[in-house]
Amino acid sequence: MIIKNNFIVLKLKRNFISLLFLLFTISILIFSNSNLTSVKSGINLWATSVVPSLFPFFVATELLMHTNIIYHIGNLLNRFMQPLFHVRGEGAFAFIMGIISGYPIGAKIATNFRKEQICTKEECERLLSFTNNSGPLFIIGSVGILLYRNTMIGLLLFITHLLASLSVGIIFRFWKKNKQTDLYSSSSKAYAMNKTPASFSNLGEILSESIVSSIKSILVIGGFVVIFSSIISILKSSGITHMIEIIATPFFNFMHISPSFIEPLFTGFFEITNGISTISNIACKKISINILITAFLLGFGGISVLLQVLSITSKSDLSIKPYILGKLLHGIIAVLYTYLFMSILPFFNFDL
């Protein structure tokens, strides 16, 4: 009997993914009405928000990879990147572009660095832990101004998000420190020499390649946005979200947090845009609770972004573990920094 049970458990483990995909397909059919609306919203979100904000940055980073700008940035910032993050100076390019343009630019550049042999495997994994971030356009513009209708809230969230990112980078400087290798000692200088340099004669070709590569990336992101809009819809329609709300309510009451935050927090765990949008509209005696939960979600990024990053890193030998650990840590540290800022600085105390 025990052998038979073990065999069933083993078979379930082997076929778990297949069963999960089958369940997802059946759920789409069962909840087709609500699912269709959510998919349309996901496509609209991707077309009106993601494409305009990310596509130009994808093209820009692809074009910059055909120049020696990375080499110059590496020379300029090596004195800071090495002692702080145990990463060569070229890593600053991934951090700067990641913080300016938002998810998942940082991960894309870190993976490109590995493919093009600009940094070692260990350095690129360290970069993954802290360079893939929410951008100022999303945090200050979308979250602060549009959702919370307060520029100062957006500014607070961006400052603490940036500080948390730097803190994670400093912590992860010890990631596989003893396994550090220097196979690519020539760094980006050799890369810049081997890569086809941009010039007026080949500008059309390089621009075309950059656009095609960027279209592939943006379509993948669009697919994730749509799929996760569908998943969230199924979880709500099937009652799973409501069940989780019932289970988590005692804990939230114990923490003196309104249970109305459970569903949007659960939603934001999968896809941050929908989650933060709902959280910002929850009426609460202390808006600091809304802001703290938003700070965590911005730092963590959500499962949707995680899978986007995984789709990028899977084409290399980089481990996804430092990214997952880094984003969890990022969310927690962002909450701590946000709480300290609101407690110490009067102009960031929105409960007054």
In a domain, 24, yes or no: no
Structure tokens at 232: 């969230």
For the chain, give the percent of residues with pLDDT over 70.
Answer: 88
Q: What is the largest CA-CA distance in the chain?
A: 74
pLDDT at 192: 45
Cβ distance 230 to 39 under 8 Å?
A: yes
Question: Of 168 and 39, which is predicted with more confidence?
Answer: 168
Nearest C-alpha neighbor of 130 from the set 324, 345, 338: 324
- Is the residue at 13 inside a domain? no
Mean predicted confidence (pLDDT) in 59-74: 77
Phi, psi (5° rounding) for residue 150? -150, 110
Neighbour count for residue 129 (Cβ, 10 Å) = 26
pLDDT band at 323 (very low <50, low <70, confident <90, very high): very high
Q: Which residues contact 186 (CB under 8 A, 6 or more apart)?
A: none
Residue 14 lies in a domain: no
* pLDDT band, very low/low/confident/very high, at 193 (cuts 50, 70, 90): very low
The answer to whether residue 295 is domain-embedded is yes
Position 19 in a domain: no
Return the higher-pLDDT residue of 125 and 45. Answer: 125
* Residues in contact with 206: Cβ distance below 8 Å, sequence separation at least 6, in sequence order: 63, 66, 196, 198
Return the closest-CA partner of residue 62 out of 197, 214, 191: 214
Predicted confidence (pLDDT) at residue 182 exceeds the cutoff of 70: no
Is 200 a member of any domain? yes
Confidence of residue 1 (pLDDT cuts 50, 70, 90): low
- Tokens standing for residue 45: 């979100």
Residue at 285 is within a domain = yes
Per the structure, the count of domains in the chain is 1
For residue 185, name the pLDDT band (cuts at 50, 70, 90).
very low
> 93-121, pLDDT tens digit by residue?
888 888 887 788 888 889 988 888 888 88
Domain extent for 310: 31-348
Residue 35 has pLDDT above 70, yes or no: yes
- Asked if residue 238 belongs to a domain, the reply is yes
* Tokens 């340099």 sit on residue: 197
- Write down the pLDDT at residue 76: 81
How many angstroms from the chain centroid is the CA of residue 174? 22
